[in-house]
Structure 1
Amino acid sequence: MSVRRTVLLTGASGVVGQAVLREARSGAVRIIALCRGTSAAVPEGADAVVHGDISQDRFGLDEESHAALAREVDTVIHSAGLTEWGLPADRYLPVNVEGTRQAADFARRAGASVHFMSTAFVAALAVNAPHRLGAGNVTANYVRSKLRAEQLLRDSGVPHTVFRPTNLIGDSLTGWTSRGQIVQLMSDWICRGRAPFIPVHEGNRIDVVPQDLLAKAVLGAVQLGDDQGEFWVTYGERAMDMTAALEVCAKHAANLGRALAPPPVVDPDGIDPDRLRELPPLAQSYLTVLRDVSETTRCSGGVLPTSLPELSERHGLAPVADTDAYRRTLEYASTHLGQSRSPERTAA
């Protein structure tokens, strides 16, 4: 008979945290959400809430409250993180690095395991990466903070797993997401015919993953009592290429009554900086992100590592084509999310 585990969920208000809460509604686990602020509201799907700050000693709790929480919890899902790209390196330290240290310290006190949400883009920083990531790359400081957090967990000695998702899109069946991210915003921009070109290195796959697949894999690991392993939540060689992604965009635009001629795909290394500066600010921002994400993917080998076959078999994840999930994400976003805004440049 399986034991109903009590989980401390950090980052409960984030995209990953909200997806976990949505998938946990069956009641198979008991979730205590760690939330910032003083609101008394319990996030939908959570069984209880603790108000604290992941970046502070003992989450900002007094000794007695921290100890009491540790007595309740046997598992930590650590999804809290600063995911906005393009910030100075020190901006990521309080949440992404120190927050992970606090999660590990709490887990040690509780005798709990940690399931950590990292990023598949750490592959770009591997010692055997085929190319070096540029210092000015918009993802670089964020990715380095996640890699540092992974190392911190390894050094802590706390039992843990690491999940490395690529950029998240909406629910695989409905397209639902708690808020729009860079994929939805940029796709809307493309579908409106505003992209003069798309910068992608030859051989790169466009790897995006539905958020419910990540949430189900993590919750499955919790229920099975997994406490070690590194899992790449990506499509890998099965991921679509840019031609396939643009075909999805064109069909989506047609369903909205727009005729979209797919923009040309160009080599990011050949973009004329002067041409880029002549474009509207939104176009400059999106094209810079696309260029840098392409560089990050190229440094990762063009095709990201994947553990999806293993995760699917172990946790009974239903197969879903990434193109179908991407289409549903676009449909949901066009109906429910505000579009054509400046990019937040946020990751998984």
Structure 2
Amino acid sequence: MTARRTVLLTGASGVVGRSILRESGPSGPRIIPAAHSSPVPEAQEPPLALDMTADRFGLDADGYAALAAEVDVVIHSAGLTEWGLPAERYEPINIEGTRRVAEFAERAGATVHFMSTAFVAALAPDAPVPLSEGNVCVNYIRSKHRAEHLLRDSGLPHTVFRPTNLIGDSRTGWTSRGQIVQLMSDWLARGRAPFIPVHPGIRMDFVPQDLLSQAVLRAIELGDDEGEFWVTYGEEAMDTETCLEVLAKHVAGRGRSLTLPPLVDADTLDPDVLARTPPMTRSYLSVLRDVSEVTRCSGGVLPTSMPELRERYGVARVDDTAAYLAGLEYAAEHLG
């Protein structure tokens, strides 16, 4: 019988961290949750107040050594995920924090499972078009890309999981807090968009958070210590038109109607048209355009490891449109 593993989960209070804790049953690994300050209601033991930006996570030498002696595996989920910030804002947690995790894992003799982003596909050398310097996501993506290289260069046993934009639990729509998909969907559902800038042919690739959690926990169970996994739907992902149809169905289910805004080719959008919209509208439209650009730079369809994740890790086969609708319903009821 394999010994029960002890896992240090960084970013335990975040969307991914709390989802992993919900998915981990009593027969799963022992998870030591680490969070800088926020509560972690799903945790089975009190969270450790670790500072990923500090030497030894802010612990004294004895405490750090004691933690390293306990831990077999690190799930590194801590990070700054907000878009649109200067590059230097991502450095302390996304890059130096990953460096400190690598130092800890070397001390502990632990495998690292790193939560990156599928958006790094836009930085591939063979990307069909380069990502623009003004893209709202570019500095965030580069920080995750650098963190991946840092782990690769460390020589440590590790895996990299690259999820696309996450939505709520596939069964219930639950999420610990709203993210970009919920925010943008709510804005669109209120009929605020005069048009939607999008690159023709791209996929709207949203993945339920529990699928990512299932994959990571199964990798730990199997003792996997290498691999790169794109947690996306790829060619299976819905197109823009289908996404809007799901949104209209959600709105209709709440007793309202939604006139779907026209789609406008983001490449041919006149900048003056965007500039004439109100500031809040311009901000939302710019984000829609930039996220579309990220997918366009990835070839219009994100790389996917979903077939392998289903076969090797038993990740559930979930219809993305049904999961998106469930997430919309949960957000409307609980996230306000």
Aligned equivalent of 2:15: 15
Report the CA distance between 1:44 and its aligned residue.
Answer: 2.1
Question: 2: distance between equivalents of 1:318 and 1:76?
Answer: 24
Aligned equivalent of 1:344: none
Matched, 1:305 2:272: no
Structure 2 gaps, min length 5 = none
Aligned equivalent of 1:68: 66
Question: 2: distance between equivalents of 1:163 and 1:325?
Answer: 20
Question: 1: distance between equivalents of 2:46 and 2:2?
Answer: 22
Matched, 1:266 2:242: no
TM-score, normalised with respect to structure 1 = 0.94
Aligned equivalent of 2:87: 89
Aligned equivalent of 2:327: 329
Question: 1: distance between equivalents of 2:130 and 2:61?
Answer: 45
Question: 1: distance between equivalents of 2:229 and 2:202?
Answer: 21
Q: Which amino acid aligns with 2:135?
A: N
Question: 2: distance between equivalents of 1:260 and 1:156?
Answer: 51
246-255 or 48-57: which moved more? 48-57
Question: 2: distance between equivalents of 1:299 and 1:134?
Answer: 10
Structure 1 gaps, min length 5 = 339-348
Aligned equivalent of 1:166: 164
Q: Helix, strand or coil: the match of 2:283?
A: helix
Aligned equivalent of 1:275: 273
Report the CA distance between 1:203 and its aligned residue.
Answer: 1.4
Aligned equivalent of 1:346: none
Match of 1:288 among 266, 286, 289: 286
Report the CA distance between 1:43 and its aligned residue.
Answer: 4.0
CA offset digits 1:67-87 (Å, max 9, x no partner):
000000000000001000000
Question: 2: distance between equivalents of 1:3 and 1:309?
Answer: 29
Aligned equivalent of 2:249: 251
**Given that residues 125 and 133 in structure 1 are in contact (C-alpha distance below 8 angstroms), is that contact kept between their aligned partners in structure 2?**
yes
Question: 1: distance between equivalents of 2:316 and 2:115?
Answer: 21
191-200 or 288-297: which moved more? 191-200
Q: Helix, strand or coil: the match of 2:215?
A: helix
Q: Which amino acid aligns with 2:177?
A: R
74-83 or 188-197: which moved more? 188-197
Equivalent runs, 1:139-150 vs 2, <5 Å: 139-150=137-148
Q: Which amino acid aligns with 2:60?
A: D
Q: How many residues are aligned here? A: 336
Aligned equivalent of 1:56: 54
Equivalent runs, 1:157-196 vs 2, <5 Å: 157-196=155-194
Q: Which amino acid aligns with 2:311?
A: E
Report the CA distance between 1:19 and its aligned residue.
Answer: 0.6
**Given that residues 30 and 47 in structure 1 are in contact (C-alpha distance below 8 angstroms), is that contact kept between their aligned partners in structure 2?**
no
Aligned equivalent of 1:319: 317
Q: Which amino acid aligns with 2:8?
A: L
Aligned equivalent of 2:34: 34
Q: Which amino acid aligns with 1:159?
A: P
CA offset digits 1:252-292 (Å, max 9, x no partner):
11111111121111111222222222223221111110100
Aligned equivalent of 1:2: 2
Q: List structure 1 segments (4+ residues) > 4 angstroms apart after TM superposition.
A: none
Report the CA distance between 1:42 and its aligned residue.
Answer: 6.0
TM-score, normalised with respect to structure 2 = 0.98
RMSD: 1.2
